[in-house]
Structure 1
Amino acid sequence: MPPILMGRRSAKIATRKGAADAKKAALYGKYGKLIVTLAKEGGPSPNANTQLRDIIAQATRAGVPKDIIERNIKRASDSKQADYSETSYEAYGPGGVGFIIEGLTDNLNRSAADVRSAVTKGGGKMATAGAVAFNFKNVGQLMTAPGEEVSEDDLFDVAIEAGAEDVISNADGTFTVLTPKEEFGAVRNALDGAGIKMNEEKSGLQMMPMLFATDVSDEDYESCRDMEEKLLALEDVDAVYTQLEDEEAEE
């Protein structure tokens, strides 16, 4: 797909590190909350709690530090630790760009207020349920790790046989495997079994835009990226999806 926005390379380079750091922090937070939830439900021992063991393995592959994992296992035994609930909000960013904001929270009122504040301060507005979501599709994405040596044909054969929908070649030499939501686990297991290493930070279930924002000014584009970063910095936000095309595709 050709670039949808032009003339922004220098601005993107200047802001990319902050956005990447925010996404990494949100990823760590997401795994931390999942670990707390599963440890509360099935006990803190990974040997006895298979779901906890699996999520710890995923977190480790994603680069979550060991001390964060251990700290959140201990948090689960705190009687004051509330249960986490899934949240999803829809919003419009500057220029009318659609946003979906997802997370896990132990305080729904705080989560809603913080998200609304970040959206408003970012120049956006909250949307009613379904107003933005219809432009997105819930899919599984698996991206090969940088430097992973695998041919597109071999990857295609393994992925498609396991239930994937498509394999996309990226400009940086990696590949992206797209799956239906229901087949994500089966495809992931097949790729693991074939010894194909994944980029854990860019793999998982996500909301993929079916319609990209193509008429966005430079100013609105940068404001949307800034709003995305501020949302990801919130304690209760684990992922933000927008109708802006991924930065790697825009260059």
Structure 2
Amino acid sequence: MAGHSKFKNIMHRKGAQDKKRSALFSKLSREITVAAKSGLPDPDMNARLRSAVIAARAQSMPNDNIQRAINKAAGNDGENYEEIRYEGFGPGGVALIIETLTDNRNRTATNVRTAVSKNGGNLGAPGAVSHGFDRLGLIAYPAKAGDAEKVFEAALEAGAEDVSSSDDGHEIWTAIEGMHDVARELEKTLGTPEAVKLAWRPQTTVEVGEDTAGQLLKLIDALDDDDDVQQVWGNYEVPEDVMEKLG
């Protein structure tokens, strides 16, 4: 149980997300509604919904907003979202997986393709890059949850497969089928996590320089700006000194 997944770099720049709180709440609400429609509208009985609610609360989304999104699933609002995954390459040949929730696949396909092509990348066929990633469960905790040793021991006892700790926080990786059982065990010792979600972890990462990183992060920001895009994963790693230069 060791390793350095650099999830904060692989997923997105959290600071950029914090500046787009309204858009972020919209995406979180969409995921909550879809999750509630996929099963019972009770987080204790619906694992996906529980994950969505945890993610929303980690971003300080008001409880009224969360409940409204759950209630929306029971209503006849005409919104039926489809999950579509796009795969391709960014600047420097970085592999990207783009997960979306959409009620108009033509609009989403056009927007995603445009954002990628305008920022030095290109989309590939389904499966073009996902073979280089592992589909796992990810449980994220802030640094304040405890030091690396405490989190490692808790994760080991809970049945996790891998742990990575840094100044930014802790990433605990699990098999998909055991993700929620591990999360429940961890809550007993570490408290409520920041996120419990299915994730794409690259089997190998590519370190990118300043020029490539700048263009790559611009591409990811463009995708994040699209309401239909829920998550962007990649196999890149941006060194801390480069991140500081790019702000």
TM-score clears 0.5: yes
Which of 178, 203, 207 in structure 1 is aligned with 2:200? Answer: 207
Instruction: Find the counterpart in structure 2 of residue 85 from structure 1.
Output: 82
Residues 186-240 of structure 1: CA distance to partner in whole angstroms, max 9, x if unpaired? 110101122434233xx422111112123x4422221111000110111111000
1:196 to 191, 195, 199: 191
Q: Which runs of 5+ in 2 are unaligned?
A: 7-12
Question: How big is the alpha-carbon RMSD for the aligned residues of Structure 1 and Structure 2?
Answer: 3.3
What one-letter code is carried by the residue in structure 1 that aligns with 2:224? L
**Deviation (angstroms), 1:78:** 5.4
Distance 2:242 2:165 in 1: 15
Q: Residue 221 of structure 2 aligns with which residue?
A: 229
Q: Which residue of 2 aligns with 1:155?
A: 151
Q: Contact 2:94–2:234 at 8 Å: present in 1 too?
A: yes
Q: What does residue 233 of structure 2 align with?
A: 241
- Name the CA distance, whole Å, in 1 between partners of 2:38 and 2:174: 29
**Percent of residue pairs identical:** 30
Matches within 5 A, 1:7-22: 17-18=15-16, 20-21=18-19
Between 203-212 and 49-58, the greater mean CA deviation after superposition: 49-58
> What letter corresponds to residue 243 of structure 1 in structure 2?
N
Larger radius of gyration: 1
In terms of fraction of residues, the more strand-rich structure is 2
Q: Is the 1:138–1:205 contact (alpha carbons within 8 Å) kept by the matching residues of 2?
A: yes
Matched residues, number: 232
Query: How far is 1:76 from its partner?
Result: 3.6
User: What is the CA–CA distance in structure 2 between the aligned matches of 1:30 and 1:88, rounded to whole Å?
Assistant: 16
Q: What do residues 97-144 of structure 1 show as CA deviations (whole Å, max 9, x unaligned)?
A: 111000211222221111111111112111122221112111222232
C-alpha change, 1:40 and 1:159, in structure 2 (3 Å) is: closer
Would the aligned equivalents of 1:166 and 1:178 in 2 still touch at CA under 8 Å?
yes
**TM-score where L is the length of structure 1:** 0.76
Q: What stretches of structure 1 of length at least 5 have no aligned partner?
A: 5-14
Alignment TM-score, normalising by the size of structure 2: 0.77
- Cα distance, 1:68–1:16 mapped onto 2, change above 3 Å: closer
